[in-house]
Every structure is written in C-alpha cells, then in structure tokens.
Chain A
C-alpha cells in the first residue's frame, strides 16, 4: 500500500477551509464540505516533515485569533493551548489581531513552526503548534517599530509578517518579509535581524535607496539553490543571488503592457530557474485584477531573463485577483500549478502552467491555496 494519500489542496478562505482531493492523474478533483465554516482562514499548511500535522490560522468576525491543529486532515481539530500572542505588558501595547502566515521549521527541528502575525510579530512553537512563544529577538528588537512602521499599519487590511523562510542548510538562518517594511534576515535563529532590501524599488517612499520600508508581497527561497531568493514585490518581480546582496528586477523582462505587479510567486521544486507569477494591473488606481481583464500565468525558465505567457484554458475575459498565499505548486513531474481567486475559483494546471482547468467554483474569497501530500491515514 502506498503511504501517500494523493494530492490535496488546502484552500483557506474568508469563510472557512475547503479541502480539494485529486485522483491519481490530477485530472479530477473533489471538493470537501466546508470545515470551520464562517471562520477566517488566512493559511492552512500540512507539515511536510510528518505529512500529518495540519495547522490552520483562525479568527472570526468576533473572536480573537488562534491556531487549530489536526492530524487527520481536518476530521477533528484541536485548538492551540497557548496561541501566538505578544507578551502581556508589551511596551508597544501590541496584541495579535490575526495569524497571517504559518511556516514549518527546519527538517532537523521536528515540531518547530513559525507564525507571522498582524501586527508584524513573529512567533515560534516547538510542539507542533500547541504552545507558541514570541520570538523576542524580532518582536522586541529596538528598531522594530521603525521597521514595522508601527503604529501606522498602512497596509489596507493591517500590516502583516509573512514569507517566513528557513534556510534548509541552517535552522538559524531565517528570512521574513513585512508588508510593509521590507525583507529582513537573521543568521542567529532570530536573535538579531538586518534589512535586506538593496535594489528594491519603493515608489511610495521619498528615498529611492531606503534601507527598509518596502513592500514585499511574497518571497521564496529555492530549496535546491538556497542562496537564490525570488520576490514578488508591490513594485515588481525580483531575484537575489544572496552573495550579491542586491535584488535584481527580473520583472523588467515582462511584457510592458502586462507589467510585473502581483502578489504570489511560486518556484519549481526541482529547477531553480523556473518560477510562476500571476500578473495584476498596477496602473492608474491599481485595480490589481488581470491586466486588461485577460488572465494569464507567466513562467520563466531562465531565472527571469525571459517570461512565457500561459493562458490556455483560462477565460478570455475575467478580472481575477490572486492573493499572496493563493498560488501553489506540487512536486509531481510534470509539476502541477494552482491558484485561487478572490472570486472563489480554484484553477489547476498539471503541465507546468501550459494549460488550465477550473477545479472549484463558488467558494468564498480565497486567501490561501497550499498543496499537500498527506500520509495515508
């Protein structure tokens, strides 16, 4: 018997979680009944280390934020006994309004996860999400309020910490991203941090060479080339070779009439030169819908030197918005690519983005799409 239950998508929405399950060919998908209906689910992630522990960030219109855990793919849920929270008596008066991002820790630290919050706190668990503690080196950093623009919180739905990345070679080497605030790096397990924003545009800041204050939308590190980072930023698409220490705007190579504005960026699991983005309109008043109402995924296979448009199967006209956690890839060959829209549709490609099929419609506003390959339960 296979120990693999097949491909699953965890679809977090403004009104609960839906689980999509594929057949062996990924050609047919079944959509679950809603789980935690009415709950705001910013992120749901299956632990790739044990392929059983599923964490879900949760709040509701009324109730405060928490984290739910499941080890049976959502059949039953257990709430964290100590959810992510700032220290009582916090000098900034901060309280977690929402857990925005969940990230499993290093492979050598089973049970370790990070959570990024709104406002922009960082939290860590070492017991698979049951009890969480603040990462003091970040939350209490003397420059935190400057870096996090506290208490302005200019981002429309509140500032958020996201894209928590653990270097696969070194559990003490971390990256995080703030919207707004920029990318930050720690080489000592989060005790101290430095901005990592050289080369990024920030057309909303007076200083073109600002050290921080940028708006990364999604940052990814390639596990097979861990000195390479990709970023979909508010102001474009970037790549950094870490030894160079400077972001290069690879989005300049996108077609001018499409531009390089968007939220998610996803990487090929085996080819560090391949990435996918979902461009959105960043002109005029920034509609951030598919440019000219013609949705397409763009792929690069040469680390951003050139881009290829993929729209086969997508509607001729549609004004899709795809949020930063709402695009995902699987590990199959060829790779499956997925995205979810704020209009509640999930689209899938099982040929690395070349053609697309709708696999779910009429869901609530989609915040997150994560691929999972759960162990057979």
Chain B
C-alpha cells in the first residue's frame, strides 16, 4: 500500500513523498512505517492511539480517525497535516 507523506514528516523518510508498506489497517500501516522510519508514528499518533489534533489520515478520499479502519481495496493512504495556525 502506498502511503503519501506530508512535508513535516519527510525528515523521517529521507524526503520520500510516498512509501510502500504492508498492512490491512491504518494502524498496521503506521506500525510498518515506524518500523522503517523510527519515531514517525509518535509524531502522528499519541500514546493513547489517538490521531494528534493537527494530523489527518485519508484512506483514498475518506478521512478516518479510527486506526482500525481497514485499507483493503484502497488505492492509497494519505497522511496530511491539518491547519494549525501560525
């Protein structure tokens, strides 16, 4: 599954804009990302497994906040930063 990476997180991915990782849920993909790019998950998800206030995850075009959301059949998952002020 291709996961698109926003600019604030590209320091973790070596500036890659998208990476391919395996998993059947959003949580799986984030775990797989963290295994390849240590630390990336905690910048997106807090210690109670909640998406951080100013981060968003889209499965295709659908915004999700439940990390157990399945990704089977989706074309891509996009991590985006939300508006957060100046």
Contact = CB atoms under 8 A, between A and B. Distances in A.
Interface of A: 60-64, 66, 79-81, 83, 85-90, 93-96
Q: A interface, by DSSP: helix, strand, loop or mixed?
A: loop
Q: Considering the complex of A and B, which 3 residue pairs feature the smallest CB-CB distances, nearest first?
A: A95-B46, A61-B84, A62-B81
12 contacts: A60-B8, A61-B54, A61-B85, A62-B81, A62-B84, A63-B9, A64-B45, A81-B39, A95-B46, A95-B47, A95-B50, A96-B46
Nearest to A39: B8
Nearest to B52: A64
The listed residue with most B CB atoms (<10 A of its CB), out of A64, A81, A88, A95, is: A64
Main secondary structure of the interface of B (DSSP, over half): loop
Interface size class of B (residues with CB under 8 A): 20 to 34
Contacts of A61: 54, 81, 84-85
Contacts of B42: 64, 66, 83, 85
A81 B8 CA distance: 18
B50 to A, nearest CB: 7
B48 A95 contact: yes
Contacts of A80: 39
Contacts of B84: 61-62
Interface of B: 6, 8-9, 38-39, 42-50, 52, 54-55, 81-82, 84-85
A238 B43 CA distance: 39
A64 B39 CA distance: 10
B50 A64 contact: no
B5 to A, nearest CB: 12
A90 B8 contact: no
The residue among B47, B82, B84, B85 with the most chain A CB atoms within 10 A of its own CB is: B47
A219 B50 CA distance: 34
Given A61-B85, A93-B48, A95-B50, A66 B38 contact: no
A79 B82 contact: no
A74 to B, nearest CB: 16
A181 to B, nearest CB: 22
Nearest to B43: A63
A46 to B, nearest CB: 23
Contacts of B6: 62
A123 to B, nearest CB: 11
B58 to A, nearest CB: 15
A88 B41 CA distance: 14
Given A61-B84, A62-B81, A62-B82, A96 B47 contact: yes
A84 to B, nearest CB: 9
Contacts of B39: 66, 79-81, 83
A235 B47 CA distance: 35
A93 B49 CA distance: 10
B44 A64 contact: yes
B52 to A, nearest CB: 5
B49 A62 contact: no
